[in-house]
Chains A and B, each alone.
Chain A
Amino acid sequence: QVQLKESGPGLVQPSQTLSLTCTVSGFSLTSNSVHWVRQPPGKGLEWVGAIWSGGSTDYNSALKSRLSISRDTSKSQVFLKMNSLQTEDTAIYFCTGYGLDYWGQGVMVTVSS
């Protein structure tokens, strides 16, 4: 049974760094990709980036300069780090597995002082 769970701080101050963790079960990170998608309150979905089975990454070009995705395969965890956060980064952040087939419940991140 494929499961994904996001975790991280609910509140981040402007200009600070966001760190999120996606813990997966039911599949191997070395065989499948994990993506991050975000959704501002009341708005649509935006693809953030991905880490592929081989460990390479791809990022949304609009976020690339601030974004880093990595993983720890021994712990079945994927990490998202985004720096220089602004209020526009306030959103629910989802991780997805098997590409974009399975989604976690999401974690709400608010950027505010």
Chain B
Amino acid sequence: DVLMTQTPVSLPVSLGGQVSISCRSSQSLVHSDGNTYLHWYLQKPGQSPQLLIYRVSNRFSGVPDRFSGSGSGTDFTLKISRVEPEDLGVYYCLQSTHFPNTFGAGTKLELK
């Protein structure tokens, strides 16, 4: 199975600040169809995960442009600028290039 390594595990932030979360895969996530199936989710406390970014850098419907994704191959980053209270929670990366789909262990974004 593809191992997804997320860092950091915990990320203290001040409101209005900017943060980055890293996700690295144990093998390339470039699919034979040329796409890279790396996605980012946010799980707010007591809620189900919600899709933020799909295929590395595409914002899902309704996701503010404060969220941006980048990367290629095995190395990916989620950046959040101007952090707001509703951004707090646990962020997960997911790869769906290789079966089985695998998630990172999560990064908890919390207030400093």
- Taking beta carbons and an 8 Å cutoff, which residues of A are in contact with B? 35, 37, 44-47, 58-61, 94, 99-106
What is the distance, in angstroms, from B79's C-beta to the closest C-beta of chain A?
21
Contact for B102 among A35, A47, A59, A102, CB less than 8 A: A47
Provide 6 A-B residue pairs closer than 8 Å at the C-beta atoms, listed in order of the A residue: A45-B103, A60-B100, A94-B48, A100-B96, A101-B51, A103-B49
Q: Is the interface of B mostly helix, strand, loop or mixed?
A: loop
Identify the closest chain B residue to A103 (Cβ). B48
Chain B residues within 8 Å of A, Cβ to Cβ = 1, 39, 48-51, 54, 60, 92, 94, 96, 99-106
Q: Is the CB of A47 within 8 A of B50?
A: no
Q: Which residue of A lies closest to B48 (CB)?
A: A103
> A100-B101, A101-B54, A101-B60 known; A106 and B96 CB under 8 Å?
no
Q: Is the CB of B60 within 8 A of A47?
A: no
Given known pairs A44-B103, A46-B103, the reply for A100 and B48 (CB within 8 Å) is: no
